[in-house]
């Protein structure tokens, strides 16, 4: 088999790329190789399958069943086991091979396990695929006992879904607060307090040291000496880029596949996008893996434009997240930690669980954290990514960080 | 022909009729915070600025949506399907204008939908601060320039 454009993976990066390719090149043949048996779907919709809001089809990235066919995009369910760049050929798990003109690796990431015993026991699951959510749904429910390992971003998103099932939920996080890479100490601990008020048992600065079988259940041992009986253990302790299939292709790999601002790797005609790609970082000017949905779709689009011969340089991804932990909404953008010689503005309202922090470099906004705010929140992205010079508004924001919408409007209208 | 909202803040007197009409049209309880059009007041300058979605071509919200819940209608308005939206809020941080917002009561997001081609805010505005005209001649230019600076890629659009 042969195609002008071959895309490995069927997540948001792949779908955004395939559609952009079709819009840019009406004739070239496009083949998506999907390692999973489902129609192209979105992992980040899985929590809503767990809560019962949607069924598996609700996670599909395109709801029209003929969408890909209509755009002459072939979706084939097979795993790529090896990429040979000299002959421009892919080896498939099902036995065949495919020749490519241009290749996009959009294989995403996979969960990684901490070095403890018992992770292979029944009742221990990641929350990464539709199979995982099926397995979790069978156990989670009113009165069940669940231990969630990891309160990072993905852990906290899963937490929301697990808590709403009516289970007794314990969250174990090695660091000193919740979402440590997304929130500072103040906000991370406000989220912890909120969750505890909602009846979720949150253990920070604690590690699960081992899992073992106890009758039909799991015994979860902690490094503080405590232990707990659980029906279900969900492991959310980080992810790693899926780069196995390109290991011998000559493609440079660091934390992910290294790509330039055109999303191309060091090997010609091989591009990468999404969770598996280490691309331009808007904030630092360096190269980072930003494993989030908006970055995946942007990467896919930019890669596709370049693959189809329409040169487009990426301006870099902005690390940003929005999270709903049992009703408390938090968001983080860019370099919220601040930079040397930069300034930080902060307002804390502990009683009402509201918080806002802005980080500036000169008179430009470079990062932000919010808690308890949903209105006009995208403006934070806009202000950061347009590098808007805030002028007099910087002083006003230092005094009252909540005035972001006015600052933006004053600068654009 | 695609039409879009044209906002002329100089004509705005801050009467909030658009906000009331918008809430009414969409069956949201009257709550200025939840209206899809907002009016910002700049006290120092005695100035009011009505503010809502420009239905931009880049459609960051639509591109970021994981569940295909946002689509463009014949007017080019980006519409949220309440049935498909799961309330993940990713669109609310993807949109650099902050004009798509989460509504905790419905558990879904809200944005301006141009009322299916007959915007209630336009009808309600007594001073022509908001008009509905041919898309090419609207004054969202400054906002659009600003959008271009935020765009993920080059100006080439797919
Ligand atoms: C539970 C959960 C909640 C999340 N919530 C959010 C959120 O709220 N906001 C946010 O921004 N992000 C969220 N994310 C992250 C987001 O889902 C990812 O960033 C996004 O899916 C990345 O898209 P991708 O296309 O790069 O990779 P993926 O979506 O992982 O897709 C990779 C594809 O490649 C396929 N594949 C892998 N290896 C091979 C191979 N060798 N051969 C063939 N096919 C292969 C896979 O089967 C899959 O189809 C969440 C993730 C999870 C798991
Ligand atoms: S909040 Fe709804 S419309 Fe917005 S991205 Fe999520 S699912 Fe799509």
Residues A218, A80 share a domain? no
CB-defined site of ligand 2, < 6 Å: B 64-65, 67, 69-70, 80, 85-91, 109
Residues A285, A266 share a domain? yes
Residues A215, A268 share a domain? no
Taking alpha carbons only, the member of A384, A343, A336 closest to residue A360 is A343
Residues A346 and A401 sit within 8 Å (Cβ to Cβ): yes
- Give the CATH number, domain containing residue A289: 3.50.50.60
Q: How far apart are CA A317 and CA A385, in angstroms?
A: 9
pLDDT tens string B66-101? 999 999 998 889 999 999 999 999 999 999 999 999
Give the DSSP letter string of B17-54: HHHHHHHHHTT--S-TTTSSSEEEEEGGGTEEEEE---
Q: Which residue has the tokens 């395109």?
A: A62
Residues A160, A66 share a domain? no
Number of domains in chain A: 3
Q: Considering the domain boundaries, does residue A318 fall inside one? A: no
Q: Considering the domain boundaries, does residue A65 fall inside one? A: yes
Residues A75, A18 share a domain? yes
Beta strands in A186-325 (DSSP E): 201-203, 208-214, 217-222, 227-230, 232-235, 239-241, 257-258, 270-272, 277-280, 287-288, 320-325
CB pairs under 8 A between A and B: 161
| Count of beta carbons in the 10 Å neighbourhood of residue B142 | 11
pLDDT tens string B20-48? 999 888 876 656 667 899 999 988 888 99
Residues A31 and A9 sit within 8 Å (Cβ to Cβ): no
Predicted local distance difference test score (pLDDT) of residue A305: 98
Predicted local distance difference test score (pLDDT) of residue A59: 98
Which of the ligands is closest to the CA of residue A82? 1
Predicted local distance difference test score (pLDDT) of residue B147: 62
Looking at the predicted structure, is the pLDDT value of residue B154 above 80? no
Q: Which positions 312-331 of A are in contact with B (Cβ < 8 Å)?
A: 312-315, 317, 320-322, 324, 327, 329, 331
Q: How many residues does chain B have?
A: 158
Interface contact A312-B63, CB threshold 8 A = no
Residues A246, A197 share a domain? no
Single residue among A235, A263, A283 that ends a domain in this structure: A235
Nearest-CA residue for ligand 1 atom 12 is A292
Domain carrying residue A220: 113-235
Looking at the predicted structure, is the pLDDT value of residue B152 above 80? no
Q: Considering the domain boundaries, does residue A264 fall inside one? A: yes
Residues A45, A21 share a domain? yes
Nearest-CA residue for ligand 2 atom 8 is B65
**CA atoms lying within 13 Å on the CB side of residue A79:** 10
Q: Considering the domain boundaries, does residue A404 fall inside one? A: yes
Q: For residue B15, give both structure tokens.
A: 């009467």
Residues A216, A118 share a domain? yes
Buried b / exposed e over A368-390, threshold 16 CB at 10 Å, is: bbbbbbbebbbbbbbbbbbebeb
CB-defined site of ligand 1, < 6 Å: A 8-14, 33-36, 43-44, 46-47, 79-80, 106-109, 127-128, 154, 157-158, 242, 245, 274-275, 291-294, 296; B 88, 90
Q: What is the mean pLDDT of residues B113-137?
A: 90
- CA angle (B91 as vertex; A61, A239 as ends), nearest 5: 65
Q: Considering the domain boundaries, does residue A354 fall inside one? A: yes
Predicted local distance difference test score (pLDDT) of residue B156: 41
Q: Considering the domain boundaries, does residue A267 fall inside one? A: yes
Residues A349, A381 share a domain? yes
Taking alpha carbons only, the member of A55, A11, A59, A4 closest to residue A35 is A11
Residues A168, A85 share a domain? no
Separation of CA A262 from chain center? 21
Single residue among A216, A235, A254 that ends a domain in this structure: A235
Single residue among A259, A288, A307 that ends a domain in this structure: A307
| CA–CA min distance A222, chain B (Å) | 32
Q: Considering the domain boundaries, does residue A328 fall inside one? A: no
How does pLDDT run along chain A (413 residues), one tens digit per residue? 999 999 999 999 999 999 999 999 999 999 999 999 999 999 999 999 999 999 999 999 999 999 999 999 999 999 999 999 999 999 999 999 999 999 999 999 999 999 999 999 999 999 999 999 999 999 999 999 999 999 999 999 999 899 999 999 999 999 999 999 999 999 999 999 999 999 999 999 999 999 999 999 999 999 999 999 999 999 999 999 999 999 999 999 999 999 999 999 999 999 999 999 999 999 999 999 999 999 999 999 999 999 999 999 999 999 999 999 999 999 999 999 999 999 999 999 999 999 999 999 999 999 999 999 999 999 999 999 999 999 999 999 999 999 999 999 988 86
Residue in B62, B66, B69 to alter for ligand 2 test, most ligand atoms within 8 A of Cβ = B69
- Give the CATH number, domain containing residue A346: 3.30.390
Cβ of residue B49 closer than 8 Å to a chain A Cβ:
yes
Looking at the predicted structure, is the pLDDT value of residue B157 above 60? no
Interface contact B98-A378, CB threshold 8 A = yes
Q: Considering the domain boundaries, does residue A287 fall inside one? A: yes
With pLDDT > 70 as the criterion, what percentage of chain B qualifies?
80
Residues A91, A21 share a domain? yes
The residues, ordered by sequence, that sit 6+ positions from A316 with a Cβ below 8 Å of its Cβ are A261, A279, A280, A281, A282, A283, A285
Residues A267, A220 share a domain? no
Cβ of residue B64 closer than 8 Å to a chain A Cβ:
yes
Residue in B63, B95, B108 to alter for ligand 2 test, most ligand atoms within 8 A of Cβ = B108
């Amino acid at each position: 088999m042969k195609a002008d454009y071959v895309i490995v993976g069927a997540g948001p990066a792949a779908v955004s790329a395939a559609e952009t390719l079709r819009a840019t090149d009406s004739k070239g043949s496009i083949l998506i190789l999907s390692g999973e048996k489902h129609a192209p779907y979105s992992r980040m919709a899985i929590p809503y399958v767990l809560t019962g809001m949607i069924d598996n089809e609700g996670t599909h990235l395109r709801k029209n069943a003929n969408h890909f066919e209509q755009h002459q995009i072939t979706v084939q369910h097979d795993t790529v086991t090896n990429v040979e760049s000299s002959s421009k050929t892919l080896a498939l798990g099902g036995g065949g091979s495919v020749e490519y003109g241009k290749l996009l690796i959009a294989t995403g990431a996979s969960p990684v396990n901490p070095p403890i015993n018992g992770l292979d026991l029944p009742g221990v699951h990641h929350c990464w695929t539709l199979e995982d959510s099926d397995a979790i749904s069978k156990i989670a429910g009113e009165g069940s006992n669940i231990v969630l390992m990891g309160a990072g971003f993905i852990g906290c998103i899963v937490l929301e879904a697990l808590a709403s099932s009516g289970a007794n939920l314990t969250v174990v996080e090695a660091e000193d607060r919740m979402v440590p890479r997304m929130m500072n100490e103040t906000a991370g601990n406000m989220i912890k307090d909120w969750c505890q008020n909602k009846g979720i048992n949150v253990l920070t600065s604690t590690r699960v040291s081992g899992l073992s079988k106890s009758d039909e259940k799991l015994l979860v041992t902690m490094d503080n000496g405590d232990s707990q009986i659980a029906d279900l253990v969900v492991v959310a302790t980080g992810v790693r880029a899926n780069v196995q299939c390109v290991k011998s292709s000559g493609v440079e790999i660091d934390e992910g596949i290294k790509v330039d601002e055109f999303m191309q790797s060091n090997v010609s005609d091989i591009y990468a996008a999404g969770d598996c790609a280490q691309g331009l970082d808007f904030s630092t000017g360096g190269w980072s893996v930003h494993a989030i949905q908006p970055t995946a779709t942007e990467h896919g689009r930019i890669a596709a434009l370049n693959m189809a011969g329409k040169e487009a340089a990426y301006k870099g991804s902005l690390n940003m997240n929005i999270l709903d932990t049992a009703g408390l909404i938090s968001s983080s953008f860019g370099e919220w930690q601040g930079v040397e010689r930069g300034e930080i503005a902060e307002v804390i309202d502990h009683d009402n669980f509201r918080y806002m922090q802005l980080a500036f470099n000169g008179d430009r906004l470079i990062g932000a954290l919010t808690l308890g705010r949903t209105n006009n929140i995208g403006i934070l992205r806009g202000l950061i990514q347009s590098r808007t010079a805030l002028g007099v508004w910087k002083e006003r924001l230092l005094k009252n960080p909540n005035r972001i919408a006015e600052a933006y409007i004053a600068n654009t209208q | 022909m695609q039409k879009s909202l044209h906002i002329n803040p100089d004509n705005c007197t801050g009467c909030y009729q658009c906000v009331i009409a918008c809430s009414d049209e969409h069956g949201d309880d009257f709550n200025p915070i939840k209206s899809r059009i907002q009016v910002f007041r700049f006290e120092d300058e005695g100035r009011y600025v009505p503010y809502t979605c420009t239905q931009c071509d880049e459609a960051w919200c639509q591109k970021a949506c994981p569940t295909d819940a946002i689509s463009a209608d014949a007017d080019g308005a980006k519409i949220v399907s309440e049935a498909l939206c799961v309330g993940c809020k990713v669109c609310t941080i993807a949109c650099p204008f902050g004009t798509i917002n989460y509504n905790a009561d419905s558990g879904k997001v809200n944005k301006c939908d141009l009322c299916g081609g007959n915007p209630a805010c336009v009808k309600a505005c007594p001073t022509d601060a908001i008009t509905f005209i041919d898309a090419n001649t609207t004054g969202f230019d400054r906002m659009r320039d600003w959008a271009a600076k935020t765009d993920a890629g080059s100006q080439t659009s797919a």
